Structure 1
Amino acid sequence: MQAVERWLVDRAVLPIENSLGGSIHRNYDLLLRHRLHIVGEVKLAVRHCLLANHDVEIEGLKRVLSHPQALDQCENTLTKLGLVREAVDDTAGAAKHVAFHKLKDTGAVASSAAAGIYGLQILAQDFQDDSDNVTRFLMLAREPIIPGTDRPFKEGPGVLFKALAVFALRQINLTKIESRPLRMQPLRASDDSNGGSPK
């Protein structure tokens, strides 16, 4: 995202939601931190593999490395194998670490492409718990496709209803709405003895 902001690249691709793991909250926070615009989205089927160095068998593995979302998406399979999970920044990085350190008791959950790049063998394909595993990615750019006409609502009673009413009036169905706390503002509660005004 910083590369887009610094004009080093034109677009960034950010995973935002997975059909098994749900919302990727860390990336929602990144959207707030970086002033980029959503200019598209794509949904991709996720096909995880269990990777290891050559001459390593699945029975010899004790732990597995991967991104937290990938570990969540393979939770049942990993539990059946009795493997200790260790979270790292990304799936490709997990594969690279296993290959670079020539680990014999550690595998990685990553793509078949990562196996080819880092010279690892594929111990198991379609390693995710659900074959219908899909991740939604956002495409981000410096400039919006349509110049900004969005204006934030002021806080107050009924604001959420007013914001959502436009969708209902146009017969548009929402699949999800999610609120995130603002890091710089404490959570607020309403004081019933004070006429419902926030504390």
Structure 2
Amino acid sequence: MNYMPESPESSAVSEVPQLRVAYQGVPGAYSELAAKRVYPSCEPVPCEQFETTFEAVDKGLVDRAVLPVENSLGGSIHRNYDLLLRHKLYIVGEVKVVIRHCLLANHSVKFEDLKRVLSHPQALAQCENTLARLGLDRGVADDTAGSAQYIAKYQLKDTGALASASAAKIYGLNILVEDIQDNCYNITRFMILARKPIAPLTGRPFKTSIVFALDEGPGALVKALGVFSLRQINITKIESRPNRDIKSGSLESFNYLFYLDFEASMADNVTQNAIKDLEEFTSLLRVFGSYPSADSMT
């Protein structure tokens, strides 16, 4: 386990002027909206892929990155869990954003002209039933705002895009339908990454994120999770991912990494003792960060 805060901050979500904050996508992406929600005076830096967003922080090209980790309708963004393990970055905060998809088209295009709609796979999945009812075919784009940029650039007459109202404004598109998602409870949680962790605090809601791999043995996962339940520490998220560093295996079993979020600060002795006990059952344990919980969803 390695968690040594070197650059204390009172809060990851406090405003720090002139920060460069990377996000995946193009201007108008929901990740850019999340970045501006956390750091209103930041310079948003668009990146083509999730990987290049992580690398931008790694190489010191930006100060922070804001990346989606889960959506209330579509579930976890597995790619970012894998990249989090690969890179030596820390989670220093989180923000939750209500996602409100709009059906966008060029100004000369009417709804009855549309034959298909472009967007990111997650956005298409979040609007699947509505799009099926409307009889629209679906096409995949790298991100939501990118689909808006594409139909505007090529002035497509039979194709719309699923993206934000901000993207409509940026790329000069018309909003044909607002709130087109299948369920109004459509919220994405974003993590804020930095090269150094923040100093955990007590006396305010904090969350801690870790990853671990278990030693073999019956009931190993139950014993691991028991270190938290015995101390009344609430686990808010558990995600299993294949352990790709395993050199051998069998048809009888699979090896997994377990990602956990729990409501506690690493500044608390109770939390530190829980982590020490957890180490007894694990072959790998890493603390990604201890950071302020998201206070609101707007």
State TM-score, norm by structure 2: 0.59
1:155 to 215, 222, 228: 215
1:181 to 219, 242, 253: 242
- Show the counterpart of 1:196: none
- Bigger proportion of residues as strand: 2
User: How far does residue 189 in structure 1 lie from its aligned partner after superposition?
Assistant: 4.1
1:64 to 117, 140, 162: 117
For residues 165-194 of structure 1, the C-alpha deviation after alignment (integer angstroms, 9 at most, x for no partner) is 121012123233121013354664448xxx
Are 1:44 and 2:100 counterparts? Answer: no
RMSD over equivalenced CA pairs, Å: 2.1
Are 1:89 and 2:142 counterparts? Answer: yes
- 8 Å contact kept, 1:181–1:187: no
Are 1:9 and 2:62 counterparts? Answer: yes
- Show the counterpart of 2:190: 137
User: How far does residue 137 in structure 1 lie from its aligned partner after superposition?
Assistant: 0.6
Unaligned stretches of 5+ residues in structure 2: 1-53, 201-209, 254-298
Q: How does 1:51-130 map to 2 (within 5 A)?
A: 51-130=104-183
- 8 Å contact kept, 1:41–1:138: yes
Identity of aligned residues (%): 65
SS in 2 for 1:39: strand
- 8 Å contact kept, 2:214–2:221: no
Number of equivalences: 189
Unaligned stretches of 5+ residues in structure 1: 192-199
Are 1:166 and 2:219 counterparts? Answer: no
SS in 2 for 1:165: helix
Larger mean Cα displacement after TM superposition, 83-92 or 23-32: 23-32
* C-alpha distance 152-122 of structure 1, shift in aligned 2 (>3 A): closer
CA distance in 2, matches of 1:166, 1:15: 28
